[in-house]
Chain A
Amino acid sequence: MPKVSFEHITKTYGNVPVLKDLNLAIDDGDFLVLLGPSGCGKTTLLNLLAGLIDVTDGRIMIGDRDVTDVDPKDRGLAMVFQSYALYPTKTVYGNLKFGLSASKLPKDEVERRIAWAAKLLQIEPLLNRKPAHLSGGQRQRVAIGRALVKNVGVFLFDEPLSNLDAKLRTETRLEIKKLHDTLKTTIVYVTHDQIEAMTMATKIAVMNGGVIQQFGTPDEIYERPANLFVAGFIGSPAMNLRKVKLSIANGKTEAVFGSGVRFDLSDYRFATAPQDGAEVILGLRPEHFLVGAGTAADSAATFEVPVQYAERTGPDASAYFVLENDLLALRVEPAVAAGLKPGQVVPVRYLKGKAHLFDAQTGQRM
């Protein structure tokens, strides 16, 4: 039932606009990740939903209830904060219990919920400790527990994993995902980590400068980025973006590089009709390149480029080539990367049907 929607939300601090006419709606059970660079307004949006700050203009709905002017405690939400925000003078048990202080529950129900959350999060042995005597991961669990006991329909997370080390982050990520699968609640989760977003979300809203750039499933966001910002923001190494000219001749659509290389676009599904000679931005994902020459049947184009350097990043490797005075990033097999000598000129080809095109003026996907 709790469908969360933001309608024409505007938020300004003094004269500085942070969110501009923002619209967003998510369904019950969705795991929404708000993803964007630092300062783009993710926390602001979350705090607006939580009621910790007031909207300048617009309406927030939870279910069919207008909560724009409702007190935070009455909105039916629970939040996990970046710094955990545990009450330092209370024990873990006291922290969980205070989480229920607004909901006038009978005593045994309070006990039952605390026991349930403690069991679920495996913090039973810690119930009598103060937060200062817990590790970062344990504090994180307690913070989640304090939200869980409320048994609400919508959970909010503000970068809950950013204070954890890499290993713990992966573990906790999985646990939160499992929690979402078991409880089937709606979650709004803020992060600037795209791996977190891609792995946990059922829906991602990519934000920049207070505007939602794209809203969709992780696959949609990755495979059909709506504009240049999303294309450049999602993916590591980032998508290679190059300015090219369109050429439409004899029913064949091609992108022409400055150096004369022709890139076959015949299988590209244009959303807007292409114009011959138009300047466009071609986006090439690093993982859709292959090192070595190919045939016209399986590759859109082949480039002869000198190696700049190759680096290994764990299970796979990245190689960088120079194409028209700019670095071209490729994901390659580590064995291949080991064979690449700086300065060596090698043919690399791009797979068919994997290109992205953006309007050079508007930055929108074509």
Chain B
Amino acid sequence: MSDLTIAQKMLGGEVAVRSAPYFPRKKKRITGRSIAIIIFLSICAIFFCVPLYVVIITSFKTMEQIREGAMFSLPNVWTLEAWDHAWNSACSGINCNGLKVGFWNSVQILFPSLILSIGISMITGYALALWNVRWAGGFLFLLFICAFVPFQIIMFPLISMTAAIKVYGNVWGVAIVHAVLAMPVLTLIFRNYYKDIPQEIMSAAVMDSGSFWKIFVEIILPMSGNILIVVLILQITSIWNDYLIGVTFGGMGSQPMTVNLANLITISTGTTRYNDNMAAALQTAIPPLVIYFFVGKLFVQGITAGAIKG
């Protein structure tokens, strides 16, 4: 397919060259303007790159070298000691079991939260977009308003509510709160996506089966691939990077990795172990990155391909 287009382009190009009069293209000069742009972009890049560089190399250094100063120098000896320490035995409060505890908590929070938040908003969006729901307009407006309510305002009611249904302080509490908070935006996203499904397909499905769930599972879900990937990435990032919900609703036993990381960095006595901290920061940041690498390409396709091919 793409080969064909390239071949066609080449063919077209050749014809154009033969038939069109020859206009010499002006050589691009480096002007003051482009220099300014290049400098600006370089500064931007440096803003991101320099700290990243420092974080990475510091995590591989020994404490002796760090004490010498020289922040930008490469490690004399490359060592994974700090990575190992941060993962296995760094202290968060009184527990010195390292970040791995938080990591597994985060994983345990991630999956129920993802399933709950995406599942609920997907089905709500499907119902709102494709079925005759009474007051659908009002409900959508309400959701839209809810998307703007700051979490802090409803934090205390949510604590009492989760406590009332006995999920406060465990993974499920965190998952439910994630689902509740993500619902307005995700529902609107799904609803708008499903609104583009041709009405006649839905009519046909209603005449063929008529079952809300069967139509969802067999017809609509398979058509949701693109938007699912987009939402999945949004949700994985926001759930993994969340701190406030985790620290508030996770209790002592199931605090996510971000909370672990914060404790590890802020509550340390004696000299700050920069290499451990940097390694811990990187360990926390890597999981979403890995996911980007795997599904990043699909993500771009999902965002650009809005149309449903029939």
Binding site for B on A (CB under 8 A): 47, 50-52, 71-74, 77-79, 81-90, 98-102, 131-132, 146
Contact = CB atoms under 8 A, between A and B. Distances in A.
Nearest 6 Cβ contacts at the A-B interface: A73-B210, A89-B222, A85-B200, A85-B204, A101-B209, A81-B200
A130 to B, nearest CB: 9
Given A89-B219, A132-B310, A78 B207 contact: yes
A52 B199 CA distance: 11
Contacts of A84: 200, 310
Interface string B196-219: 001011011111111100100011
A131 B201 CA distance: 13
Contacts, number: 76
A83 B207 contact: no
A102 B308 CA distance: 25
A132 B208 contact: no
Contact of B205 (A78, A83, A87): A87
B207 A50 contact: yes
A101 B207 contact: no
Contacts of A79: 203-204, 207
Interface size class of chain B, counting residues whose CB lies under 8 Å from the partner chain? 20 to 34
Contacts of B206: 52, 72-73
A99 B200 CA distance: 14
A71 B211 CA distance: 11
Contacts of A51: 207
18 contacts: A52-B203, A52-B206, A52-B207, A72-B210, A77-B207, A81-B203, A83-B198, A83-B310, A85-B203, A87-B201, A87-B205, A88-B308, A88-B310, A89-B219, A98-B205, A98-B209, A101-B211, A146-B208
A159 to B, nearest CB: 11
Contact of A85 (B201, B209, B222, B309): B201
Given A83-B310, A101-B209, A131-B310, A89 B204 contact: no
Given A71-B210, A73-B206, 10 more contacts: A47-B203, A73-B210, A79-B203, A79-B207, A82-B200, A84-B200, A85-B203, A86-B204, A90-B218, A98-B219
A2 B210 CA distance: 22
Interface in B168-215: 198, 200-201, 203-211, 214
A73 to B, nearest CB: 4
